[in-house]
Structure 1
Amino acid sequence: MRTRRLSPGRILAWIYLAVILVVTVFPFYWILRTALSDNYALLGNPSSLLPVDFTWGPFARVLGLASAEESIAEGGSGATLDLGRYLVNSIVYATASTFLIVLFSLLAAYAFARLHWRGRDLVFSLFLAALMVPGILTLLPNFVLVRDLGLLNTFAGMILPYGLFSAFNIFFLRQFMLGLSAETEEAALIDGAGRVRILFGITIPMTSGPITTLSILGFIGMWNDYFWPLLVTTDESVQPLTLALAVFKQSSPQSQPDWAGLMAATLVAALPMLLLFMVFGRRIVNSIGFTGLK
C-alpha cells in the first residue's frame, strides 16, 4: 500500500490544526474543570489543570439540589437558580423568535426571487445595505419603540423587534431560491395554483435544507442572546437563562464569587446548544457551502 510522505507543508498544516483545536476546545475543558471543583479549594490552586478537590456540589447548587449549608460549606453563596423557569423562558424566546425570523424571511426571499415588480432590485439593495449596519446602532431605537408600546418585561417586547426582519436570512434564502428550477412552479401556475400554494407546497419543501440551517443558527443565536433581554426585561418571569447566569453571579454575599457554581450553570446552559450543533453541524456547513455557489 502506497504511503504519503510527510512534507514540511503537511507537518505545518497538522500543527496549525492541532493548535486551533486546542485553542477552541480548551475553554470548554476549563469550564468543566472549574465546575467540578470546590470553590474554596480553587483559591489555593487556581492554575491546576485538573478539578481541585473534585465535587458535584456546583451542579447540585445550580439544580437546586443542595441545601444552603452544603452550598456555603463548598464556597457557594447559598443562592439557588430556578433553572426550570429560566429554561422555559429561553425556549419560548428562542423558539418564537426563530419561527418568526424564518417565516418572514421566507416570504421576503420568495418575493425577491420569484415575483417581478417595479423597484424590486432597488428594495433588495436596501435590504443588503442593512447588512452593513452594526446591530448595536439599532438597540436604542428598538428600546424606545418597545417602551412606547408598553411591551417592556414581556415576551413580545423581546421577540418582535428582531423577529420581523433579518437581512442575512433574506439574502441567504433568495440566493438558494434563484438556483431552483422554475419549471415546476410555472407548471403549477398554468394548472391554476396560486402563489401562496406554490410557496408552501413546492418552494418550501425544496428549500428545506437552508430553512433547517437558518433555524438552527437562529435558535442558537437567540438562546445565547444577552444584551437585548437585559435592556427590555427586569422581571424574572420572562428573563432567559443567559440573564439568570448574571443574577446567580451577583447573588454571592462573599467577596469571592461562586466561580464553580457559575461555570456549572454556564455548562448547563450551553450543553443543549453544543449537542444541537454536534448533531446538525455537517448539515449547516454543507448548506452554507452549497448556497454560496449560487
Structure 2
Amino acid sequence: MSVGRIIAWAYVAVILLITIFPFYWMLRTALSNNYSLSTDPWSFFPVDFTFGAFKRALGLASPAEAAAQGGSGASLGLTLALRNSIIYAALLTVCTVFFSAIAAYAFARLHWRGRNTVFSILLTALMVPQVLTLLPNFVLVKDLGLLNTFAGLVLPNAFFSAFNIFFLRQFMLGLSTEIEEAAIIDGAGPLRVCFRIVLPMCSAPIATLALLTFINTWNDYFWPLLVSSDTSTSPLTLALAVFKQSSPQEALDWSGLMAATIIAALPMLLVFMVFGRRIVNSIGFTGLK
C-alpha cells in the first residue's frame, strides 16, 4: 500500500460517506417519532424508534395514531400515484426511444440531400434550456384540451430527443455496413434493414437510453406540475408535494415525508441495483465513433 493509494482510498471513502449520508439521515428521520425529533434533532439514531411514519405514508394509520406521532392524517395515495408514474414513465420511454432510434438511423445510414445540415440544426436543441420550452408546450397541450391526461404528459417529449438521436447516431456510424449491403443486394428495403439488422445491433445503447429516460421521467416534477392537477394522472413526485402540504399541524410531518420519499424512491433503487452496470456502461457508449 503506497501513500498515493492510501490517499486515493481515503478520498473515495470521504466521497462515499458524503453521498450516502443524506440517504441514511432520511431513513433515520423516517424511523423517528415526529414529535420526538425536536427533542434530539442531532441524534444519529432514530429518535423514539417507530414505523408509524411508513404507516401514515401508506394510509394504514388511523387519524388518532397519526396525530399522536405528529402526523397529518394524510396518506400518500401510493397505489394510484405509483400506477400513474409507471404509465407516464413507460409511455414516454417507449415513444422517445423508438422515434429517436428511427431518426438516428435516418441520419447515420440513409443518404439524402441536406442530411448533415439538418443534423447540425438538430444539435442546436441541445443548447436550448428545457425551461424555455415549458411555456410553449403548456400552451399547446392546453389548446389541444389535453390537461390532466397522460397524452398531455407524454406528447411534448414523445417524438424528439436531441441527445438520444445524437447518442444512437454516433453508435450507428461505428457499425459495419457489410451486413446491410448484403441485405440490400438480397432485396431488403430501408425499413427492413433498420428493424431487422441495424436496431438489433444497437440493442445495448438502446437499452441504456431506455433506462436513463425511464429514470429521468420517473423523477420529473415540474412538467407534471404544470399539466396535471388531478390525482388520476399525478405521478409520485406530485403526490409527495401534496403529502407535504397537507399537514394541518403547526410543524411539518418530517418523518412522514421522509418515509413517503423512501417509498417513492424504492422502485428506482431496485432498477439501479438490477441494471446499474448497464447505466455505468453508458459512459463508454458515448465515446464510440
* Alignment TM-score, normalising by the size of structure 2: 0.98
Residues 64-73 or 280-289, more deviating: 280-289
In the aligned structure 2, how far is the partner of 1:16 from the partner of 1:79? 43
> Identical aligned pairs, as a percentage?
70
2:141 equivalent to 1:153: no
| Residue 285 of structure 1: aligned partner | 280
* 1:87-236 aligned within 5 A: 87-236=82-231
Amino acid at match of 2:284: G
Render the CA deviation track for 1:122-162: whole Å, top value 9, x for unaligned: 11111111101111111111111111111111111110101
In the aligned structure 2, how far is the partner of 1:129 from the partner of 1:291? 18
In the aligned structure 2, how far is the partner of 1:284 from the partner of 1:185? 29
CA-CA distance at 1:203 after TM superposition: 1.1
Amino acid at match of 2:14: V
2:284 equivalent to 1:269: no
Residue 30 (structure 2) aligned to one of 14, 35, 48: 35
| Residue 77 of structure 2: aligned partner | 82
In the aligned structure 2, how far is the partner of 1:198 from the partner of 1:58? 55
CA contact (8 A) 2:205 2:285 kept: no
Residue 253 (structure 2) aligned to one of 233, 243, 258: 258
CA-CA distance at 1:292 after TM superposition: 0.8
Which consecutive segments of 4 or more residues in structure 1 shift more than 6 A?
none
In the aligned structure 2, how far is the partner of 1:204 from the partner of 1:274? 28
Amino acid at match of 2:90: T
Amino acid at match of 2:11: Y
Count of residue pairs brought into register by the alignment: 289
Residue 50 (structure 1) aligned to one of 31, 39, 45: 45
CA-CA distance at 1:82 after TM superposition: 1.3
Amino acid at match of 1:62: A
In the aligned structure 1, how far is the partner of 2:73 from the partner of 2:280? 43
Name structure 1 gaps, 5 residues minimum. Answer: none
In the aligned structure 2, how far is the partner of 1:197 from the partner of 1:229? 37
Name structure 2 gaps, 5 residues minimum. Answer: none
CA contact (8 A) 2:171 2:288 kept: no
* Alignment TM-score, normalising by the size of structure 1: 0.96
In the aligned structure 1, how far is the partner of 2:288 from the partner of 2:142? 43
CA-CA distance at 1:290 after TM superposition: 3.5
| Residue 68 of structure 2: aligned partner | 73
CA-CA distance at 1:196 after TM superposition: 1.2
CA-CA distance at 1:47 after TM superposition: 1.0
CA contact (8 A) 2:72 2:249 kept: yes
Q: Root-mean-square deviation (CA), in Å? A: 1.0
Q: 1:229 to 1:290 in 2, by over 3 A?
A: closer
CA-CA distance at 1:216 after TM superposition: 0.5
CA-CA distance at 1:46 after TM superposition: 1.1
Amino acid at match of 1:261: G
In the aligned structure 1, how far is the partner of 2:33 from the partner of 2:282? 44
In the aligned structure 1, how far is the partner of 2:282 from the partner of 2:231? 38
Render the CA deviation track for 1:226-256: whole Å, top value 9, x for unaligned: 0000011111111001000010011100121
Q: What SS class does the counterpart of residue 38 from structure 2 fall into?
A: helix
